Amino acid sequence: MFCHFIAFAAIVFNSLAARVELDWDVGYVFGARDGYTFKRGIGVNGDSPFPPVHVTQGDTLVINVRNSLDVPTSIHVHGLFNNGTNYYDGPDMVTQCGIPPGESFTYVLETGDQSGTFWIHGHTRHQEVDGLHTPLIIHSRKQPVIDYDEELIMTFEDWFTTEFAVRQAYIDSLEDIRTLTSNFPKALINGYDGNKTAPITFVPGKRYRLRVISMSVNNWFKFRIPGHKMTIIEADGVESMPLEVDGLILGPGQRYSAIVTAHDSAQFNYIYNGLIPLMYTGLINYRDGAPVKTIPAPSNEHLVWPEETAMQVADKQAPLPVDRQIELTMKKFTHTHHQHQTTLGNTLYKPVLVPTLYTALSMGDLATNSSVYGPQTNAYVLKHLDVVDVVINNPELEDHTFHFHGHNVQVIETGPYGNLSTENREPVAHKVSGPWPMWRDTIQVHGFEYIRVRFRADNPG
């Protein structure tokens, strides 16, 4: 009977799936999204920002991309597995050649059993920096961890006043990068200047699911609504056990869903904060014209923020048994003009001449030899279905995020790494996840820390 029920459920699930087709003309747009600086960016169908994409779990998303730029382009769905269809994953010269100017390419993206909060962005020549990105929401067919009345999308992104290519060319031209004047980015919230974005409307007593997405490139965002608690129910498209926090810390590419319950009274409006570390604020509007309630800012140590090891996965999956271990240590290279580049290991990555996926598919038995992928790719060849335990060490001051294409990873533990005595930093604690480690596709590795994650190599390519 149980087997028959599972088969019936699968048939019903597949029969409900739809094919959602979009036509995207990727081209240059001009505007001042930060409210101050008019610059050339990249958009879709003449718009920047362009609309979020909504599909339902099990749907097939088809995006017909026309490249109207004067350089190649490609797109990546951040967090989608593309299991068995790696050639739709998007990284230029890794899983595909870039789409040439004036040409088109169709991405056929199967959502399968995935649901949650994702985003789509350019994956050629850092085009996501100039605006080629938008949220993707895959609505679940299952009951949520916590019921809610309405959902809202909140996006955070850093925004530079010049195009990426122009800024990079200028940096490369400097004989000594230490002469570079500060060009700290501004912040966009929901697509526009973080201090001028439209208010968020709360109706008293309603429960909201906030889908919070960092479409940032370099900067972390801290998001908080003083006077309101948040309960996390999802991270990076994976449902979590409810975790109450005061706010969210998002590294580039990370996403959360958090439940926020509106107060019963519309007596006051409230201010939310977005920090990068410049402070950006917006309005939570309970009632037009209502006074803003002043809430004293508590010290950071009295606030509860989500930690990688504090979250637990909703389906209560225990840590996977390990077949193979890999340890990677970040290293900072300093060039003659004092520009820094961070690598994993002792090899500076350089793009290959043939997409890596094409090499894997065309080299026959040699495809298992890591050297065929080039001396500056630092490639690892994994055995299909092995569980791989990966330790990433960060001996430097700067924090980093890592995104795993085609996989989620279990966050097993974090702890101290490197010489903290050279910096004015608090001691780093060793933290181990609980019995059901959280799965996610984008992790934070803080300065002078290591992180241990684990995944099953079940997506060949």
pTM above 0.85?
yes
- Classify strands 387-394 and 324-334 as parallel, antiparallel or unpaired: parallel
User: How far apart are the C-alpha atoms of 166 and 289, rounded to whole Å?
Assistant: 44
> Cα dist. 259→42, 208, 280, 368 in Å?
33, 6, 22, 46
Q: What is the pLDDT of residues 53-77, one digit of tens each?
A: 999 999 999 999 999 999 999 999 9
User: How far apart are the C-alpha atoms of 402 and 409, rounded to whole Å?
Assistant: 11
Q: What is the pLDDT of residues 285-340, one digit of tens each?
A: 999 999 999 998 887 788 999 999 999 999 999 999 999 999 999 988 776 656 67
Residue 52 has pLDDT above 50, yes or no: yes
Average pLDDT over the chain reads 92
pLDDT grade for 282, boundaries at 50, 70 and 90: very high
Share of the chain above pLDDT 90, in %: 77
For residues 323 and 352, the answer to whether their CB atoms sit within 8 Å is no
pLDDT given for residue 5 in this prediction: 36
> Strand ranges (DSSP E) for 167-254?
186-189, 192-193, 200-201, 207-214, 221-224, 230-235, 238-245, 247-250
Closest CA to 343 of 402, 419, 390: 402
Q: What is the CA radius of gyration of the chain?
A: 22
pLDDT grade for 2, boundaries at 50, 70 and 90: very low
pLDDT grade for 347, boundaries at 50, 70 and 90: confident
- Classify strands 53-56 and 133-139 as parallel, antiparallel or unpaired: parallel
Residue 127 region, left (φ>0) first, then alpha (ψ -120 to 50), else beta? alpha
User: How far apart are the C-alpha atoms of 150 and 100, rounded to whole Å?
Assistant: 41
